[in-house]
Amino acid sequence: MNPHVERYRQSWRLRIPQDPSETRRIERWLATARVFLAVSTLVAIRMDPTELGNSWAAYGLFVFYLANGILIMMLLRRRRQSTAGFRLLVHAGDVAWPALISIFAEGPRAPFFLFFFFVLAAAAYRWGLWETLGTAAAEVALLWIESFVLIHGWLAPGGSSSWRAVLGLRVNATAFGPQQLFMLSIYLLVMGLLLGYLAEQQKHLRAEKAVVNGILSRIRVEAGLTGTIEMIFHEMLSMYGASRVVVASQESHSQRVFVGELDRKIGRGRSEWHWLETGLRDAKTYLDDFPGDVCYAAMDGDRWTTLALDASGNQIAVDNLAPISQLREVGNFDSLVTVAFLFGSEWRGRIFLFNPSWRGEKQEELRFLLDLVHQVGPAVYNVYLLHRMRRRAGAAERARFARELHDGAVQSLIAVEMQVDVLRRQSDAGKPVGGELSRIQGLLREEVLKLRELMQQMKAIDVDSQRLLGVLNDTVERFQRETGISARFVTDLDDLDMPQRVCREILRIVQEGLVNVRKHSGARHALVRLGSSADKWSLTVEDDGKGFAFAGRYNQEQMEELGKGPMIIKERVGLIAGELTVESNPGQGTRLEVTVPRNGDVPHEL
């Protein structure tokens, strides 16, 4: 069982463990509030000294409390961690202080009641419901003990009157009467209950958020859909202590049903996700007629105990138990939880947790499971979509290469084979074959160049701003060697700060431009130039060939309207938010200009 998930799982009803930095931050805030409260109270008493009955002992206690608050604040700033013992000691002092200062309060209680509220808020902020209620009960107990001691000891006739006169202490006896003390006790207990409940809910929500974020953070695209599903359901098995988890899904357009299963293996290593053989009958078994969006069912004697919620988390009536009984015939279990999911308009399905162990109130747990599926589901669906897009892109790329090979190399080799057969016959007849051999050699040389260009397009490019200039220069030199066309690469740049995605597309544009020069232009010279200005990079590829079928200068928008220009280069320029301009002079040459803004919004790769 994953200890991280199990720890958060237990914290839903107990406490979420805080990291040391969070605990230290809480204690610092409380220390600052403690000092601010003490100073504010002293100012209020200064404005109305009757609050403490002009007792020097009470003023001394306030000064001691203020000094204690400052000392705690200094200790927290010097120490890296706040230990549990230190927090309990500080909290005990906060509990004792309001009861102690109440002895000397003669005026209205308003300034001093804030100390009661502070200690309850501190308990709620540090811990939760039961600690806050315990703090309120401790305050009430201290007040009643003080009342007993004061009435039957300190204030009793002949008790300690002489000592009170010597020390100059004045005690507020009316505040410790049974009626006043009873009302104050009720206030403290009710306030402790409310503050503790709010703190418990806040920690509960934070724990649930931590569980969801923990699962989302572990989803990896490279793991694939099956790996992602396996990881998520391993976590769910650990959280719910279930014996087995099954997911059933159905694709809308094909009606195909997929069922996968993961068993919990204790002491036998990590279990693996596996897909089951399925048919359309499984849609009836796993998907149809189950009550609610999330449902809990357990066998109690000879009947089912059920609880079902709708998509909003509201309880609904369960009238049909047949799907649960039918599922029990397929796989034996005593209890189960099932939750529905829907991915767009393509997939619907249900998750089944068999024999889960509950740690809290069932309706609350079911709501959390529903929320967990709603939040994690889109991330899983995105992994599915991304892999589907990659498969389709890969299939389209393979189809393109197959078409290039079929229309180019394969057709040329067939033609060569036919021409070689003709040459063989001519040779047998004693006819000269030198001219035909030269033509075949040229044809083979052309196909070798095409295959090399195709291999360059298939090759993954790993180029960044540090390597781009050198790679561009090597590309142009290789083009000159292989084609016999005079080509140069010119640049006035020494360093580049170009994003890697832009570097890769610039190189692809140069390669595609040189391929077009060789195939279509009939040029004798070609020039590639890369430059830069304050707000953009600029690339030009020009030749002295026959040019395009049109004359003039066109930007990308105009070429799109007219259906002209190099299609692949236009697509690559669009990928880097650039602008393409083509200038064509039939019979004199072509000039391609690409500008890329430095602050352009370059899309991310899939």
Residue 488 has pLDDT above 70, yes or no: yes
Q: Which token pair is 13?
A: 């009803």
Q: Is residue 483 part of a domain?
A: yes
Give dist(CA 505, CA 461) in Å, integer. Answer: 9
CA dist., res. 329 & res. 405, Å (int): 56
Sheet containing 274-276: give its strands across: 274-276, 257-263, 244-251, 347-354, 335-343, 294-300, 303-309, 315-316
Cα–Cα distance, 124 to 459 (Å, whole number):
61
DSSP code at position 530: E
- Same domain, yes or no, for 180 and 238? no
User: If you ran DSSP here, which 8-state letter would residue 490 be given?
Assistant: E
The more confidently predicted of residues 594 and 600 is 594
The segment with the largest mean pLDDT, out of 197-211, 375-389, 478-492, is: 478-492
Q: Is residue 480 part of a domain?
A: yes
State how many domains the chain has: 3
Does 403 fall in a domain? no
CA-wise closest residue to 242 among 310, 184, 302, 298: 298
Regarding whether 241 and 197 lie in a shared domain, the answer is no
Of 452, 445, 435, 443, give the one whose Cα is nearest residue 414: 443
C-alpha–C-alpha distance, residues 361 and 573, integer Å: 58
Domain-ending residue, one of 357, 382, 407:
382
Lowest mean pLDDT, pick from 351-355, 451-455, 530-534, 581-585 = 451-455
pLDDT-wise least confident of 219-223, 263-267, 501-505, 545-549: 263-267
Alpha-carbon span 411 to 395, nearest angstrom: 22
- Provide CB contacts within 8 A for 105, sequence distance 6+: 51, 52, 53, 58, 112, 172, 175
Q: Within a 13 Å sphere around the CA of 101, how many CA atoms are in the beta-carbon half?
A: 29
Cβ proximity of 566 and 554 under 8 Å: no
Residues 208 and 242 in one domain: no
Identify the three-state secondary structure at position 244: strand
Please state which of the ranges 138-147, 283-292, 567-576 shows the lowest mean pLDDT.
283-292
Distance CA 238, CA 235 (A): 5
- Distance (Å, rounded) from C-alpha 462 to C-alpha 484? 27
Question: Which pLDDT belongs to residue 163?
Answer: 43
Domain match, 342 and 489 both: no
Report how far residue 18's alpha carbon sits from residue 54's, in angstroms, rounded to the nearest whole number. 44
Alpha helices in 355-433 (DSSP H): 362-405, 411-428
User: How sure is the predictor about 542, in pLDDT bands with cuts at 50, 70 and 90?
Assistant: very high
Per-residue confidence (pLDDT) for residue 489, from 0 to 100: 93
* pLDDT tens, residue by residue, 547-584: 887 888 888 888 888 778 888 888 888 888 889 999 98
Q: Are residues 321 and 368 in the same domain?
A: yes
232 and 183 both lie in a single domain: no
The end-to-end CA distance of the chain, in Å, is 34
**Inside any domain, residue 94:** yes
Residue 496 lies in a domain: yes
Residue 251 · residue 347 · CB < 8 Å: yes
Task: Answer whether 90's CB lies under 8 Å from 28's CB.
Answer: no
Per the CB < 8 A criterion, the answer to whether 132 and 204 are in contact is no
pLDDT reported for residue 320: 82
pLDDT of residue 179: 76
Is the same domain home to 46 and 165? yes
C-alpha distances (whole Å) from 256 to each of 144, 390, 502 are 72, 22, 42
- Which region among 134-148, 391-405, 483-497 has the lowest average model confidence (pLDDT)? 391-405
Q: How far is CA 182 from CA 120, 137, 179, in A?
A: 18, 13, 5
121 and 165 part of one domain: yes
Query: What pLDDT is stored for residue 539 in this prediction?
Result: 94
Residue 329 lies in a domain: yes
The CATH number of the domain holding residue 517 is 3.30.565.10
**Is 397 inside a domain boundary?**
no
d(C-alpha 562, C-alpha 381), whole Å: 40
**In angstroms, what CA-CA distances link 195 with 48, 133, 167?**
31, 9, 39
Q: Is residue 428 domain-resident?
A: no
For 367, the domain range is 222-382
Q: How many CB atoms lie within 10 A of CB 258?
A: 15
**Is residue 6's pLDDT more than 50?**
no
Q: Is 134 a residue whose pLDDT tops 60?
A: yes
Percent of the chain with pLDDT over 90: 6
Q: Are residues 234 and 181 in the same domain?
A: no
Residue that wins the pLDDT comparison between 537 and 421: 537
The mean pLDDT value for 317-331 works out to 83
597 and 478 share a domain?
Answer: yes
Q: Can you give the pLDDT at residue 92?
A: 86
Query: Of 171, 191, 214, which residue is a domain's last?
Result: 214
pLDDT band of 104, cuts 50, 70, 90? low
Helices and strands (DSSP H and E) totals, the chain: 18, 14
Count how many Cα atoms sit within 13 Å of the Cα of residue 513 in the half-sphere of its side chain: 30
Residues 168 and 261 reside in one and the same domain: no
Mean pLDDT of 203-208: 79
User: Does residue 16 carry a pLDDT above 50?
Assistant: no
Provide the pLDDT for residue 405: 64
The pLDDT mean for the chain works out to 78
Q: What is the CATH number of the domain that holds 258?
A: 3.30.450.40
Q: Where among 382, 416, 433 does a domain terminate? A: 382
Asked whether residue 231 falls in the same domain as residue 167, the answer is no
Between 188-202, 214-228, 256-270, the lowest mean confidence (pLDDT) is in 256-270
- Give the three-class secondary structure for 107: coil
Q: Residues 356-382: what's their mean pLDDT?
A: 83
Average pLDDT of span 122-150: 84
Helix (H) or strand (E) holding 295: strand 294-300
